[in-house]
Structure 1
Amino acid sequence: MTTDTHKGKKGDVLLEMKNITIDGFSDEKWHPIIKGVDLTLKRGEVMGLIGESGAGKSTLGLAAMGFARPGCKITGGSIDFDGHDLINATEDELRALWGTRIAYVAQSAAASFNPAHRLLDQTVESTLDGGLQTANAAQSDARELYASLQLPDPDNIGDRYPHQVSGGQLQRMMTAMAMSSRPDLIIFDEPTTALDVTTQVEVLVAMRDIVERFNTAAIYITHDLAVVAQMADFIKVLRYGEEVEEAETRQMLSAPTEDYTKSLWSVRALEKPENISNDTVLEIKNVDAAYAGTVKVLHDVNIKIARGTTVAVVGESGSGKSTTARVITGLLPPLTGETLFNGEPLPPALKDRSKDQLQRIQMIYQMADTAMNPRQTVAEIIGRPLEFYHGLRGRKKQDRILELLEMIELDQTFYDRLPSELSGGQKQRVCIARALAAEPEVIICDEVTSALDQIVQEGILRLLLRLQKEYNITYLFITHDIAVVQAISDEIVVMYQGGVVEQGPKSVVMSPPHPDYTQLLLSSVPEMDPDWLSNLVDGRG
């Protein structure tokens, strides 16, 4: 284990940020995005940062490291980290702290790992660079962290490359990498966004245990109020780069003082009436699938999707949800079985499908960071399917792009922005617009709301439902968010270990009695109660 020579006493002030102002560059000028925010954090404390997409949560969290993203600059205030002036520190001084005493767990693990290096090597890199452990000790410790974070085959999973594990597993790998040096401060930026509810429980328990065991301070950035209730000692609410209020977690949950905070607390799932139809638009029949032709990841999967309905596919990380989507889109030809579209078999491989077949089935990917070309503007990203499928150019294409931006609640100022200038929620909305640009019959939504706060999430779900009603679009909605399932689904498919456990109308699947696995999923949904996680763990023994 790492020797903690720099650790102070629990309760000592570790981080003090005063009157922080940060500007961002867009539309050829600088704009304030953090406006005079204070933050004080003691050793062993967890501060939850919440607020809408674009509120400045991640920007403030990164500033706690003395870091500003490209296109941003810290323009005022002071940041003291255990006696280190992070505002005036040199790059070498900051790099000596990053990865060893201050660690960061990003929202998108897929965009943060080097695809050319094995996961174990990346996990221990900071620990070795900082001279904190020998290679053997660091690797042994990393395997212990993998086990504590409920990663499968913890002794060997580190030998894989990033593309060989699921999104949820990769997110846990990034958490292990941050924890490996036993830092004084960890900034968790939506660390459980990509996780299913059963895995999220295990990861939250592991993170809380590490924080308590090693007297680590943490800033926990999230839009999930129920999750922050389990992790944070205090909650700070941000909006438009300003502090709305801050309070101890129990006080904040029971009696928020500001109207905006109350509005966050009061967001409720939509209650879409269940729509039952016998007009099948898409059918997956007897599908087996494997990656690299080796171990099967899908086993005799059968799913029917009715036109104009929403079928939600739920299950833990690695259950086969996204693999099923890849089979449907032709990205992974099945070993056996077929996909029928309007009663006609689709060519198994994407390269063999016609332009018309490609247009009619579109996909919105889970990780917006890796789904967009970072060098293309929003207009170029949305405009490509308009040209490819509809032949739009010039003013007609421009007008349609602006219409699509309006549909996803982004104004025309986003037209020339690059992905790096967007928040996580804004990136995902651009991906939604790109799919809509093709005017498809079926849209496969792979965790499309997982990066969005509740207010924006509700707006996106209402948008998707309105589009479904107006254009009779069919959705296959892959998600681990049971609240989203309850809000928008007509039918539910529950998957586990590559097979279908249960499927049927929402009213049937959500009503007891449940199969054991469905019951486990439903019982793992966090509640707005700071004691929920502890009680759940105690109840499961």
Structure 2
Amino acid sequence: MMTDPRVTVKDLKIGATTDSGRDVEIIRGVSFDIAPGEIIALIGESGSGKTTIALSLMGHTRTGCEIRGGSITLGQDDITAMSERQRAGLRGTKVSYVPQSAAAAFNPSKRIMDQVIEITAIHKLMPRAQAEAKAVELFKALALPHYDTIGDRYPHQVSGGQLQRLAAAMALIGDPELVIFDEPTTALDVTTQIEVLRAFKSVMVQSGISGVYVSHDLAVVAQVADRIIVLKRGEVQEEGTTEQILHDPQHPYTRELMSAFEPKEHVAKVVESRDDHVPILEVSGLCAGYGDMVKGEPAVKILEDINFRLPRGRNLGVIGESGSGKSTLARAVSGILAPYKGDVLVNGHEMRPGLKARSKDELRRSQIVFQLADTALNPAHSIGAILGRPLTFYHGLKGAARERRVIELLDMVHLPANIRHRLPGELSGGQKQRVNFARALAAEPELILCDEITSALDTVVAAAIIDLLKELQRELDLSYMFISHDLSTVEAICDDVLVMYKGRIVEALPARDMVAKAEHPYSRLLISSIPQLDTGWLSSLERDPALVEEFALR
């Protein structure tokens, strides 16, 4: 017997008016249903309308946007016909939201329990004692450690994975009929992500709640969604069961998404004999940390006795969980953080420990590209000014010569010349990361340190950035050190891989051998945690509880 859908979206149209008065269509006639207890995934590249549609299910649109047509019904409620006051009454009770960044959703000055149960007081759903008891039940169901006391802590006293599950508890406390998950595991390490996904899915299935899961990660979607809706530029391209979309996609765009997810095989380069085999980067006995120096050592030690060599023209991947020391290693090699012990040599030339001590040429030789282009690019400066600054600093270029080189750099990263007149806020995520990379190229470096540069990008854009890095490497004879927690990305571009855990290198192998030949238990746990394009992968995944406990990957 057919049951009535819990959510019905019919011919939804959402538009916006730009500051210049131009009218923009964002969502163009989207329709779909969600059955009781069903989880659908909205997938597509950045700008496809995933989050805009998801937010509209709560009757919410971003500033400047408006619902211009169609209808959204949740049970008996027509959300599009409601007043803003009526919609506010639904939020947290009938429909709730789990954000991408749980850290941004919590007030750092309030205890976790007070925030999780706050919605029950706002809507007068239940007495405080009952709300607290229900929260503890949810903490337990979401597999949170110390579930009976974790509510007494402050947000900064729990890990990222725990905070993400606590955000889910906050969304579930009001017994909603629909929960919207907006890329809730994007910022998590692969091992932590598994525990969070498992917890989300378990609670949703037990409660019979419907869900909308917004993501660009097909492997994650495969574990949680019953059906997938593929979006591009505000229109549905394809809709089907998760199995059908993953294994028999019909639309060319869906097939493009699938091919972008498939790891590209990286062919290891043969390094020619030159410079007397001097590696482009050599690190020996490196130790670094943070805080005030006491007896020649920092208050907090992060890196302990790091040793490796990177031959010229090859690429080195560095993988590990958050807190393993990956980014600290990149900062120590680049000079942003001065190591307190050990040596860094670039092309046989010993680099002085901190940026201030390095000459212009030493600074030029190695450049770093940061994870978040949003924070790396000055929002008040034009792209031309951002790229022009290193050209003047390193090469003394000014005026027309500088302008010509800015255009050349933009062309190198496949961006149009006229983009130089725009501000970073007017660019997409992928465009900003290309500008970020062009700025590093402006120095004409030999070595580029890439710190999680694709982790904030959708699958298609990330694949294009990887292809760009390979192309530039061939043309400019670059070497890369690639920091990531995503082994598949590292495999796509790196020749060798270092695995880091608690500030130490625990394994070093050729990238092609990582999956088959990794021996350290931590390496094997990392590898086993990479989601596969298989709907049964999560439910069949068996991880040694002792290993998970030993490495505290929660």
2:202 to 202, 209, 215: 209
Is the deviation greater in 86-95 or in 143-152?
143-152
CA separation of 1:98 and 1:452: change in aligned 2, threshold 3 A? same
Contact 2:286/2:304 (8 A) holds in 1: yes
Structure 1 residue 184 corresponds to structure 2 residue 189: no
Q: 1:483 matched to which residue of 2?
A: 488
Structure 1 residue 318 corresponds to structure 2 residue 317: no
Q: 1:448 matched to which residue of 2?
A: 453
Please tell me the residue identity of whatever aligns with 1:299: E
1:95-139 alpha-carbon deviations (Å, 9 max, x no partner): 4444554433444556x3578646837666556655557778777
1:283-322 alpha-carbon deviations (Å, 9 max, x no partner): 3332333443444333322232232221111122322212
1:446-472 alpha-carbon deviations (Å, 9 max, x no partner): 222223333322221111011112112
1:431 deviates by 2.9
Q: 2:505 matched to which residue of 1?
A: 500
Is the deviation greater in 488-497 or in 258-267?
258-267
Please tell me the residue identity of whatever aligns with 2:29: G
1:273 deviates by 1.6
Q: 2:550 matched to which residue of 1?
A: none
Q: 1:248 matched to which residue of 2?
A: 241
Please give the residue correspondences for 1:15-54 in structure 2 after superposition, counting only pairs within 5 Å: 15-24=7-16, 28=20, 29-54=22-47
1:272 to 245, 253, 266: 266
1:254 deviates by 3.0
Where 1:52 maps in the other structure, the secondary structure is coil
What is the TM-score with the length of structure 1 in the denominator?
A: 0.84
Q: 1: CA distance between counterparts of 2:346 and 2:120? A: 51
Please give the residue correspondences for 1:64-463 in structure 2 after superposition, counting only pairs within 5 Å: 64-99=57-92, 101-107=94-100, 112=104, 117=109, 120=112, 126=119, 129-130=122-123, 159=153, 174-175=167-168, 177-179=170-172, 181=174, 183-267=176-260, 268-275=262-269, 277=271, 278-292=277-291, 293-392=298-397, 396-411=401-416, 414-415=419-420, 418-463=423-468
CA-atom RMSD, angstroms?
3.7
What is the TM-score with the length of structure 2 in the denominator?
A: 0.82
Is the deviation greater in 56-65 or in 415-424?
415-424
Please tell me the residue identity of whatever aligns with 1:40: D
Q: 1:6 matched to which residue of 2?
A: none
Q: 2: CA distance between counterparts of 1:142 and 1:336? A: 48
Where 1:20 maps in the other structure, the secondary structure is strand
Q: 1: CA distance between counterparts of 2:111 and 2:282? A: 37
CA separation of 1:157 and 1:313: change in aligned 2, threshold 3 A? farther
Is the deviation greater in 136-145 or in 225-234?
136-145
CA separation of 1:489 and 1:175: change in aligned 2, threshold 3 A? farther
Please tell me the residue identity of whatever aligns with 1:80: T
Where 1:67 maps in the other structure, the secondary structure is coil
Q: 1: CA distance between counterparts of 2:499 and 2:407? A: 38
- Paired-residue identity, %: 45
Where 1:318 maps in the other structure, the secondary structure is coil
Q: 2: CA distance between counterparts of 1:137 and 1:388? A: 63
The alignment covers a number of residue pairs equal to: 530
Please tell me the residue identity of whatever aligns with 1:209: S
1:349 deviates by 3.6
Contact 1:26/1:417 (8 A) holds in 2: no
Q: 1:3 matched to which residue of 2?
A: none
Q: 2:54 matched to which residue of 1?
A: 61
Q: 1:469 matched to which residue of 2?
A: 474
Is the deviation greater in 145-154 or in 192-201?
145-154
1:384 deviates by 4.4
Please tell me the residue identity of whatever aligns with 1:46: I
1:190 deviates by 2.3
1:532 deviates by 0.9
Please tell me the residue identity of whatever aligns with 2:283: I
Where 1:13 maps in the other structure, the secondary structure is coil
1:123-158 alpha-carbon deviations (Å, 9 max, x no partner): 665566555577787778778767776778875698
Larger of the two Rg values belongs to structure: 2
Where 1:195 maps in the other structure, the secondary structure is coil
Please tell me the residue identity of whatever aligns with 1:482: L
1:176-201 alpha-carbon deviations (Å, 9 max, x no partner): 55455554333223222222322221
Where 1:434 maps in the other structure, the secondary structure is helix
CA separation of 1:356 and 1:148: change in aligned 2, threshold 3 A? farther
Q: 1: CA distance between counterparts of 2:134 and 2:289? A: 32
Contact 1:287/1:336 (8 A) holds in 2: yes
What residue ranges of structure 1 are gaps of 5+ in the alignment? 1-9
CA separation of 1:473 and 1:318: change in aligned 2, threshold 3 A? same
Q: 1:4 matched to which residue of 2?
A: none
Where 1:470 maps in the other structure, the secondary structure is helix
Contact 2:108/2:154 (8 A) holds in 1: no
Contact 2:164/2:196 (8 A) holds in 1: no
Q: 2: CA distance between counterparts of 1:303 and 1:150? A: 39
What residue ranges of structure 2 are gaps of 5+ in the alignment? 272-276, 292-297, 547-554
Where 2:6 maps in the other structure, the secondary structure is strand
CA separation of 1:454 and 1:254: change in aligned 2, threshold 3 A? same
Q: 1: CA distance between counterparts of 2:300 and 2:495? A: 32
Q: 1:5 matched to which residue of 2?
A: none
Is the deviation greater in 461-470 or in 437-446?
437-446
Q: 1: CA distance between counterparts of 2:335 and 2:155? A: 23
